[in-house]
Structure 1
Amino acid sequence: MKRLFFLLLAFCIVPQTLWAKYVAILETISEPSAKDKISTEERRYLTDVLRGLAIQSLPAEQNFTIMTRENINVMLPPGKTIEDCEGSCLAETGRNIAADYVSQARITLVSGELAISVEMYETAGNKLISSFNGKGSTINDVEQIIKEQSEEFFKKVKNAGTGWGEFSVDNAFAFQAIQKVIVEITSNPEGALPTVDGKGVPKCTSTPCKVLLEAGEHRFVASKEHYDDTEVTVAITENNQRVSLTLEPIFGYLNVSPSLTDSIGDLKDVTLTVDGSKEKDLAILLDQGPHQVTISHPCYDPAHFNVAIEKGKNQTIEKKLVRGSCGLELNVEKNDVPQEVTVYIDGAPIGKTPFSGTIPLCSQITVGDSTYAEEVKTELKWHEVTKITHSMGEPPQPTPIAIPEPTEVAAETPAEIPTNIPETSLENSKDFHWGLIAASGAVTATGAILAIVGNSNAKSASEKGFKNTAEYKKNLKDAENGQKLRTAGIITAIVGAIGVGLSFAF
């Protein structure tokens, strides 16, 4: 009787150890045709989804252990990578990492869509026990296929593992507490978008912020426009643990300084376009690399050029805009009768009506003769022909001027010129004369020194490097102050020089 009892006890206990199975979910790989369609982060994310569904379908309570990414990488033989084989060779990889079952997803491109193929091998017998396939346009579509197929996919592992199929006990209950902790995510600079283990956190969309995570190792990634993504893997063990990420800038600054010819137009009407997008300012932040830049103005030809921005550098581009041109067909009538009158462009005669020719943009057009002329109001467009008929009016009649009657004016007695000027007055005049020359010379010298110092400060500030927006704005402000000092010095020197000249003249 005792022997029978021990046999039954062994029958109940031994299978529990024999049935403990290790399942390895290897990293998702992509065929060469699909490498441009799916990134490394997206492949890691699909692997995490498949591994998470494996944990749900093959729980520890049923003696299944889902191997982590770190377990798999540590147990691979030296020089061996997961991508070295496929198909039944995966079973050999599974044996190398001491897994009972090994699964891997593969992404390829079929008819322009993402196709996924997932296989599960039993490592002991090199046997394919489960698989599924699907096709979708986006990563979200592929993720949905995995979620829909996973339950049936992992069910076959249960059946293969026990040999008895699934069974359940209605009154069974197990609860394993999972430790969760609060984690503070910070970044330099602030305002980055964080992700944890490849997933976004809805309540944490801009650093700094706090998230609730399970204790253990997690991968944190921070992204921000104009900065390189940065990532760090941290073991989370306690409440209020801080994870800090530092992002490296990948931008520089472009400062465009256009000049207008002919003193026509206003700089405030200049428009800057970079890579097809209009910018609000002429000094802008750009990512490193090549960019296409266009400077345009209603009165000038657009200037196109390419610029290569270097990280952390300030690049200034000076461009002299060339006045644009357009076509004009102009007729003049007076009382519905065609007239031959002179056409003036910006005050210079260029022909007579009827006129047809090329003129500069933003021109002032007048018609008439030396006694009377009228301005022609019209909108001129770049490289387009404007056709207009101007109706000439009557010249204004002169207003008669009343000439007053002459009146007798008493003759004025000329003032007597003094002849007895004291010598001391003459000497004082000479002293004042030389004093004025000395003072004017000092003003001139002071102005020259201010101009030299201001020019040096402006040049030093414009060539100075920077690491962030605040440093760039400070350099720009210092350059502007240097330019103002240089201008003030030049004006002061001119005033002093004028004083010296007047002193010698009088």
Structure 2
Amino acid sequence: MNFIHKVLFLSVGLVFPALATHVAVLETTAAKDVLTLEEKQYLTDVLRSEAVKALPAEQNYTIMTRENISVMLPPGKAVEDCEGSCLVETGKNIAADFVAQGHVGRFANNLTITVELYETAGNKLMGSFSTKAPDIESLEVEIRQKSNGLFSRILASSLGKVDMQPVLADKVGHEAELVIKIDGESKKDGRKYVRGEWELAPGIHEIEFEHRCYEPQKFKVNVQSGTTVTVNNSLDPAMGSFSLTTEYKGAFREVPVFVNGTMAGRTPFTGRVPICAKVEVGEDEFRETVVMNWNDKDRLEITHNLKNAKPTAEELRADSLAVAQQQMAQAATDEAARAAAAKEKRSAIAKPVSIAMMVLGLASVGVGVYENMVASDERKKYDEATFDNQKDFDDQWDKVESAKTMRNVFYGIGGGLIGAGAVVFFVF
């Protein structure tokens, strides 16, 4: 992603740089028989160096030097003369915001020192410490150990605030993904920087906003003591380009494209979108979400396979034809089933009848065979007999003809019944 780093400069109150906070460490005082001038100046320098450590210049603190103080004192007043009640007044005379001074004495066999810190504007004692040591070198160690805590009171009293309220413009992504850094750090005293007010020392501070879905921002704020600067920058969505085509059942299918719920075009689609935008394709109830795996890329080419799609007019016609064919096939199947059922029903009736017909036919053939035998016997009688008159001759011949007739009749009936029964048996 080609992120654009925005560098802004914000200040509390006026756009002019904040005035430095001046801190004066006046000369350490002591009786002549306790410390020499050089020893007093050395202890003053120790206090002044500890003030420099506790109140860094990059946070707009100025620790006044001995020369600065001397130049700004009223005429006829020496820096060594400042002690006691004139301490605050001296601080005002030299335009110091805070003034500190140590006083060395003796207690038993030890050297003692008391260091006091005043706010000149309000004549307010900010703090003090007292300690003792057997000699001046040990006293120096005590001073170095305790001075930082004393001068840090100035830092605490002059803190400003930054109220960080970055605006996630498109309201995409999660708030938890927002990373806030101050002077390169994402935590303060083990606490993660989050939206809200944070106390900072006076001076210039670098603020950074980072979020997966937005362009990062980096800017500076000028914090002044006792004031609050509100940072409500609007983060611009991080953008990416992509081309999108859609397929359904292996073939291209044109469908609408939606970005954050708003139609942006139809496939094939090419454009730029916020990288955390919700991209969808499809119509109505067939809408689907497209997976956008940017992974630090600034361009994607995506082929999305549709799980479902609204049928086209051609597909509807094809579906209608298929349904009609299916219905016709089903109707034919049903008709065949009905015919088979009817045939089976007919067969259940016809088969016994056909068997009965064939049995009767066989019986008729049997009768025909019997009549044939009768005809043969009557003919034999006719051929061997000697008749007395013509009437006996004719009667015997009538018997032969009658037997033949009966034979033929029963043969015909039997053959007809057998044939008809066979036809009924196999056809039905």
TM-score, with structure 1 as normaliser:
0.30
Higher relative contact order (CA 8 A, sep 6+): 2
Rg: which structure is higher?
Answer: 2
Give TM-score scaled by structure 2 length.
Answer: 0.35
Q: Which has the higher helix share?
A: 2
